[in-house]
Homo-oligomer: A and B are copies of this chain.
Amino acid sequence: MECRPTVKDIYEYINSIAPFENQCEWDNSGFLVGCKDNEVKKIGVVLDITTAAVDYAAKNGIDLIVSHHPVIFRAVKHFTDGDLPFALASKGISAICAHTNLDIAKGGVNDALAEILGFENVSLLADSGDLSMIRIAEIDETDGESLAKYVAEKLNAPVRIADSGRKIRKVAFCGGSANEFVPDVAANGCDAYITGELKHHEFLDALEMGVTVITAGHFETENPVVAVLAEKLKNNFDVEVEIIPQNSPVKHYR
């Protein structure tokens, strides 16, 4: 049909809700694979462009994937079998990736996380200007174990906690792998910090800073934005939009 959007139309819409120029310096968000002038028949939205996601797209007539994580991150010097961008190109699928620009956007990754966590009174981390990855919520006083269980229930996922023992009223949170913000969170007097994943030494360092930290999974804390993004695309374009089925790559035992 003549009114089908092009890849470029979709790119410009995403740019309007999560400007690509707001991405972190080290990031590679943007239009990464495909032809900008191609008409789009069906959009697939997904957190990670994996081999399984590409195969699903190909089998289901999806010709544009909008993902959170960039399918090219470090610069590359070949495009061969085994490289996901090559798999996309071979199958005629374009890719637009909205990573840190979507983390930081109003209505993006972290606001989707706030909503699923049921937090109200959410504000940006003090002193961080108009743009901040980090959100803060004031909650009724609780303790680490209770908050950990609450997060596990809301995200329907196993959680990890390094508990400083501190009573918790002021909670910072940021989806994904966001250890870098712990010192800021501590300096701003937050009692707890919820993120997707931390390494052993990062848990220990947070405890030495006196902050309780809870991790609920990189996938689980970011995936809520997929449905939000799919919904916005459906509402703005007369094109089929599908959430590509995807679970965390990780299963837990015991």
Of B35, B72, B81, B157, the residue contacting A35 (CB under 8 A) is: B81
Most buried by B among A77, A159, A162, A249: A249
Cβ of A37 < 8 Å from any Cβ of B?
yes
Cβ of A44 < 8 Å from any Cβ of B?
no
Of B33, B152, B200, B208, the residue contacting A80 (CB under 8 A) is: B33
| Chain B residues within 8 Å of A84, by CB | 208
Size class of the A contact interface (CB-based, 8 Å): 35 or more
Are the CB atoms of A199 and B201 closer together than 8 Å? Answer: no
| Chain B residues within 8 Å of A161, by CB | 250-251, 253
Q: Please encode chain A, from 61 to 81, with 1 for each CB lying within 8 Å of some chain B CB and 0 for all others.
A: 000000001001001111111
| Chain B residues within 8 Å of A158, by CB | 158, 252-254
A159 to B250, CA, bound (A): 10
| Chain B residues within 8 Å of A197, by CB | 199-200
Kindly report how many copies of this chain are found in the complex they form together.
6
Are the CB atoms of B72 and A152 closer together than 8 Å? Answer: no
Cβ of A170 < 8 Å from any Cβ of B?
no
Cβ of A41 < 8 Å from any Cβ of B?
no
Most buried by B among A77, A82, A159: A77
Of B31, B48, B253, the residue contacting A159 (CB under 8 A) is: B253
Cβ of A32 < 8 Å from any Cβ of B?
yes
A-B contact pairs, 7 of them (CB 8 A): A34-B79, A50-B204, A89-B90, A145-B251, A159-B254, A200-B248, A203-B249
